[in-house]
Amino acid sequence: MATIISTSQLKIGMYVNLSSAWHAHPFLTNSFTITSPQQIKKIANFGIKTVSIDENKGIPVEEALQQDMEQPDKNFAQGLTAASEKLQETLDNHNLPLPERAGLVHSHSVDMIKNLWGTPIGEKIAEFKRGIFGIVEMLLAHNDAVSYLLRLTSYDYNEYIHSANVGLLGTALAISVLQKKDRHDLHALAAGFFLHDIGKIKIDEAILNKKGELTREEMDVMRKHPGMGFRILNEARQMGDESRIIVLQHHERNNGLGYPRRLRGNEIHLYGKICSVADVFDALASKRNYRTQLTAFEALKTMKEEMLDHFQRDIFEKFVLLFK
């Protein structure tokens, strides 16, 4: 069966039939199987816009295009698995000094988030959750680990590092606020903290990476990311209510001036309030290309003097105590 496709759709394994005229193409034969990227490039460079494919002799067009769609998922999944395995090796290596372990845990967390953001499908989120489980156990077992992790927020800012920082800070704060009470699933909460900004994968990179303040129109787009993240987790069917609440409410503010629903006070879930403190702190304490980075002390001082009505006071006070 002959199918006409664009030259840009050519894949290795397809069988092509070119014009029989010797001057119409640069090959010695008119019909052959594509065996290398160089052949595809040669066809394109010769100015050939479309080609005829014999699907009985080579890979069918639909199968080739489907493989092309699935390959990125496979690569991302392999990257996530590798990062998850490295994280687990670090967590299991009790011979490493705790400061070094904390640094590696942070680094591997960033890699896991980066690979997950590529295609946040259910299977990948399930593997991500398994990695987060080990981080929670480390924080529960080692109080000193929190102090070492708090020193890691001075990295250059990007969305992956920010998500890892908020994941670790939010988990540490949740342990302090909730006092290890059984009715709270700290593993589910931690997953929500790490994935709080997952909706940003739907936001234009020009807005995410803009140097300087956003326009009103750009900010309107940005304010959609909590709802987008909530829908991503719903569709993945891997996260419980705890995680989805965090993703949806981490930008709500105690004074009612947050988004997306302008909730106020007790209308905001406790988990959302915990994440908002960690999120704002890291935004202030991380290096940004449009303002001077604040030290941890300066960030906490700014939150207390200029933003205290954003947060539930006792939660903010427990966060400050993490730094002592």
Residue 76's pLDDT band (cuts 50, 70, 90): very low
Query: What was the pLDDT predicted at 156?
Result: 61
Q: What letter does residue 175 receive in the DSSP assignment?
A: H
Question: Can you name the residues that pair with 17 across neighbouring β-strands?
Answer: 31, 52
Identify whether 66 is part of a domain: no
Residue 174 in contact with residue 250, Cβ under 8 Å?
no
In 34-153 the beta strands, taken as DSSP E runs, fall at 50-54
What is the pLDDT averaged over residues 42-63? 81
Residues 97, 38: one domain? no
Identify whether 261 is part of a domain: yes
Q: Give residue 132's domain range.
A: 71-321
Q: Which residue has the higher pLDDT, 103 or 155?
A: 103
- Is the whole-model pTM more than 0.85? no
CA distance 207 to 320: 32
Any residues with CB less than 8 A from the CB of 300 and at least 6 apart, and which? Answer: 281, 319, 320, 323
3-state DSSP assignment of residue 120: coil
Query: What was the pLDDT predicted at 6?
Result: 85
Q: Which of 187-196, 211-220, 269-278 has the lowest mean pLDDT?
A: 211-220
Residues 270, 147: one domain? yes
Residue 72's pLDDT band (cuts 50, 70, 90): very low
Q: How many domains does the chain have?
A: 2
As given in the structure block, the two tokens for residue 167 are 């994941």
DSSP conformation letters of 173-207: HHHHHHTT-TTS-HHHHHHHHHTTTGGGGGS-HHH
As given in the structure block, the two tokens for residue 290 are 């449009």
What is the pLDDT averaged over residues 36-48? 79
Query: What was the pLDDT predicted at 70?
Result: 46
Instruction: Tell me: pLDDT of 95 over 60.
Output: yes
Domain boundary among 10, 30, 59: 59
Residue 229 in contact with residue 248, Cβ under 8 Å?
yes
Place of tokens 């234009």: 204
pLDDT digit string, tens, across residues 219-269: 999 999 999 999 999 888 888 899 999 999 999 999 999 999 999 999 999
pLDDT digit string, tens, across residues 135-189: 898 888 887 888 888 776 555 668 899 999 999 999 999 999 998 677 788 999 9
CA distance 92 to 87: 9
Residues 18, 90: one domain? no
Q: Which of 20-34, 78-92, 180-194, 201-215 has the lowest mean pLDDT?
A: 20-34
Pairing type for strands 50-54 and 2-6 reads antiparallel
What is the pLDDT averaged over residues 261-282? 96
* Domain containing residue 92: CATH number: 1.10.3210.10
Residues in the chain: 324
